Structure 1
Amino acid sequence: MHDFLPYLPMLGGAVGLVCLVGAFFAGRRRRLVENLSTSKTTGVFIGLVELKGTAECARPLTSYLAEQPCVWYQWSVDEHWSRTVTETYTDHEGKTRTRTRHESGWTTVADGGESTPFYLQDDCGVILIRPEGAKIEPLAMFDRTCGPADPLYYGKGPAHAVRDSDHRRRFAEYGIPEHASLYVMGQARERQDIVAAEIARDPDAPMFLISTRSEEQIGSGMKWGERAWVFSGWVLFVGSVVGRDAAAGIPLETRLPLYAGATAAYLAAAVLAWIWMVFNSLVDLRHRVRRAWSLVEIELKRRHDLIPNLVQAVRGCRDHERTVQSELAALRGQLRATPPGVEGPDYHAVRDAVLAVAERYPELKADANFAALQKSLIETEERIALARGYFNDIATHYNTRLEQVPERYVAWLGAMKPQPLMEADAFERAPVSIGAWSHGSSDPAPSGK
């Protein structure tokens, strides 16, 4: 034992640092939850988003045990068993002896579950959620223990019994009931059927969580987990030194400066880990702001390529050329629009100008080329509205982080600057309604756009 004592501080220090690394990753996940701004369903486009709302489904599932309407559920039936075991062993004197012991436990005899795509609804609209692959934090919907006299015992459980059964079964079910309040964090992507976003599993996303707990409850649980990692690391880091001295018979009061130095070293490492975590989270947020703007730029470039063709189509109405000059000016002006923070004309929607021309001149509305261009423009500006809302949400959160203390000092070290927002309120996204679909279909069909 005494040969091992010199190595005890090194072992405790190594394990303590491992705990500090665990606290770093736990803190990063907590900051992701606490610092990602909550988006409205109408402001979601592409990227990692946080949403709050209620679970809605036109044709919900019916849970197996509670028989409640829900969008996700899992159930299990466990059966209790017990037995007395007699065993032979050899004692410390080399004599053969026998002893008996009692064993008991639960064995799962049946289980199952089901899920379906559903809509998350907030005060602005709805967004489609595909729960496959998500970490689910459900509600307890059913919990009951009974014997064979209860109709539930065989009605929802199997006919056979496990070995050494006590004929006692526990029925449990967890799920997400319809209309339940949810917190969702996941990767948003564009739907294939309409111009709208959906939340689905993405292997590159840092988190895909669907929880019936509030954001405050989730963050609080992660915070206590992070603190537990830090405290455990400190106990191991300093305690290993104290344990070595105590085992060696060294008076502990004479070693207080050493213990204080070990504590200071551990705290310094914790502070450096915190600065590293904050800086990396700000850098990641800045990258997401840039990616969000690149999504806006893609749609703006698409619209930029459409506008000259629309101008040419409108100018074809030569008999009315003088009466469409304002609409043509609005279209041409958007060819010179500049990004936020850059001097020049701001971006604004031109769909109203195009619709006004179409209503004024029926021959244009009947023109197949103009109709196709008009449809492409409207869909593109709907995508711009989605991308703009997401960009402004992320940029606003990024700007807020740069102003908060003490993070503003870390941002100053990284020379990070606020991001101007895209002030273009004329862009509108298409409304999305909760639609009905069969449980076996892969895509829900919206009842309207």
Structure 2
Amino acid sequence: MSVGGMIFLGLVVVALIYGITLYNGLVGLKHGVAKAWANIDVLLKQRHDELPKLVEVCKQYKEFEQSTLQRVIEARSQVQTARQAQDVGALGEAEGALRLGLGRLFAVAEAYPELKANEHFMQLQQRITALENSIADRRELYNEAVNINNVRVDQFPDAVIARLFRFDPQPLLEFAAAEKADVDIKQLFS
């Protein structure tokens, strides 16, 4: 084999190794996004399981506002539907509605001293609040994983490998305008 042939073969091997390295990096990023989504999904499932307990404790207080409970139940259902469909856009909207409903539920609970003093209600409220904080942290990690993935999928030369093997950009988990706005405390108590 001639020197030119060996150089050509060496360049092909280097290009192949480089291509494999890029491909493996993109696979790692794709799985990182999936893992971040799975972490959110676990927390959403936990919250989904806890909310009926909270609603049931509230229902035990006959005067408790039914419309507030109904909004939480409906928002919970929307989150579950979006979660099962893995529809990130719908999940962002449903999450906003659920967080607003929970805020209203906890605000209304302030008017019911017996409910507020109920040990089960307090435990559930603390548990759901902890889950909300964990979900917020996981959403941030998910969006970071998606951002890193999307940058790599769009950068050259990764974009060539990404298009060739159909590594697509992933959607960010965005939030409804209502969720980003300041909370109107006065409205929650009226």
TM-score, L = length of structure 1:
0.35
1:274 aligned to which of 5, 11, 18? 18
Q: Does 1:368 align with 2:105?
A: no
1:318 aligned to which of 62, 65, 70? 62
Aligned residue in 1 for 2:41 = 297
Amino acid at match of 2:165: G
Amino acid at match of 2:159: R
In 2, distance between residues paired with 1:309 and 1:424?
A: 26
Aligned residue in 2 for 1:422 = 173
Does structure 2 retain, via aligned residues, the 8 Å contact 1:310–1:373? yes
Aligned residue in 2 for 1:124 = none
In 2, distance between residues paired with 1:320 and 1:303?
A: 22
Does structure 1 retain, via aligned residues, the 8 Å contact 2:54–2:124? yes
Give the drift of 1:422: 1.5
In 2, distance between residues paired with 1:358 and 1:291?
A: 36
Aligned residue in 1 for 2:158 = 407
* Superposed CA RMSD: 2.3
Residues 288-325 of structure 1 deviation map (CA, whole Å, 9 limit, x = unaligned) = 11011111111100000011111222222222435xx1
In 1, distance between residues paired with 2:42 and 2:175?
A: 16
Does structure 1 retain, via aligned residues, the 8 Å contact 2:109–2:115? yes
Q: How many pairs align?
A: 169
Does structure 2 retain, via aligned residues, the 8 Å contact 1:303–1:380? yes
More helix by share: 2
Q: Does 1:262 align with 2:6?
A: yes
Task: Return the structure number with greater relative CO, CA threshold 8 A, min gap 6.
Answer: 2
TM-score, L = length of structure 2:
0.79
Does structure 1 retain, via aligned residues, the 8 Å contact 2:89–2:173? no
Give the drift of 1:424: 3.7
Structure-2 change in CA distance of 1:343 and 1:385 (3 Å): closer
Aligned residue in 2 for 1:347 = 95
Does structure 2 retain, via aligned residues, the 8 Å contact 1:296–1:387? yes
Does structure 2 retain, via aligned residues, the 8 Å contact 1:327–1:353? no
Structure 1 gaps of 5+ residues are 1-256, 428-449
In 2, distance between residues paired with 1:293 and 1:365?
A: 34
In 1, distance between residues paired with 2:143 and 2:157?
A: 24
SS in 1 for 2:156: coil
Computing the radius of gyration over CA atoms, which structure comes out larger, 1 or 2? 1
Residues 154-193 of structure 1: matches in 2 within 5 Å?
A: none
Aligned residue in 1 for 2:186 = none
SS in 2 for 1:318: coil
Residues 10-409 of structure 1: matches in 2 within 5 Å?
A: 258-322=2-66, 325-337=67-79, 338=82, 339-341=86-88, 346-348=94-96, 349=99, 350-409=101-160
Does structure 2 retain, via aligned residues, the 8 Å contact 1:327–1:354? yes
Give the drift of 1:359: 1.5
In 2, distance between residues paired with 1:369 and 1:353?
A: 19
Amino acid at match of 2:151: T
In 2, distance between residues paired with 1:420 and 1:357?
A: 35
Amino acid at match of 2:54: L
Structure 2 gaps of 5+ residues are 181-190
More strand by share: 1
Question: Which portions of structure 1, spanning 4 or more consecutive aligned residues, are displaced by more than 4 angstroms?
Answer: 342-345
